[in-house]
Amino acid sequence: MVDVQRTAVRMMRLSGFSRVTVEQIAEAAGVSPSTVYRYFGTKEALVLWGGNGGELVARFADANVGKKRTVEQAFAETAIDMYGVDEKNLLAQLTLVFGNADLAVAFEHGLMSQRHALAEVIATHRESKSGARVAALAAAMLGVLIAVLDRWQATGGEKSLTRQITKAYEQVFA
């Protein structure tokens, strides 16, 4: 399915999101349209696949947080592990996402919709209750990630995404 998504992103960047059909994507990827719909559901979900906030929170839940590693540092490292794996394809995907207002809203909503779950994980890591402060921290951590991803793609990925995430979290949460 990664190949199907890469094919879709490439086609949509060349021709525009609205001009490419699921049928065209399926043909170019060598699968049936029903396979694309079965795995992704919609054309929008096909583009957004892999940027899943739920997966990010689940990975963060398994992160090692301690006296020398804050929740903010652990979250930044989790984001790097998730998004920094294949920067070339991520850049193509994010350029398409942030270049289309509806996709950008859906991407941002997908991440921000995880703020309550992230707050619970932060509280667990801190061995504290989840209140307004933790909820605000969760929203801020997700907001910083969205801003970094948007800025990184806007500059054509000229600097390392890993460095951009690390620097942003150090500056904002110092």
CATH number for the domain harbouring residue 61: 1.10.357
Higher confidence at residue 63 or residue 50?
Answer: 63
The band of 128, judged by pLDDT with boundaries at 50, 70 and 90, is: confident
The band of 51, judged by pLDDT with boundaries at 50, 70 and 90, is: low
The two three-digit tokens of residue 125, written as one number: 């890591």
Indicate the residue type of 170: E
Residue 67 has pLDDT above 80, yes or no: no
Mean pLDDT of the region 4-8: 92
Mean pLDDT lowest for which of 68-72, 137-141, 144-148? 68-72
DSSP character for 66? B
The band of 30, judged by pLDDT with boundaries at 50, 70 and 90, is: very high
- pTM above threshold 0.95: no
In a shared domain, residues 17 and 58: no
Which residues constitute the domain of residue 30?
1-49
In a shared domain, residues 68 and 29: no
Q: What CATH number does residue 14 fall under?
A: 1.10.10.60
Q: Helix 132-154 to helix 87-98 angle, to the nearest 10 degrees?
A: 100
In a shared domain, residues 149 and 83: yes
- Rounded to whole angstroms, how far apart are CA atoms 3 and 165? 26
In a shared domain, residues 38 and 107: no
Mean pLDDT of the region 138-146: 97
In a shared domain, residues 23 and 90: no
- Mean residue pLDDT of the chain comes to 92
DSSP character for 131? -
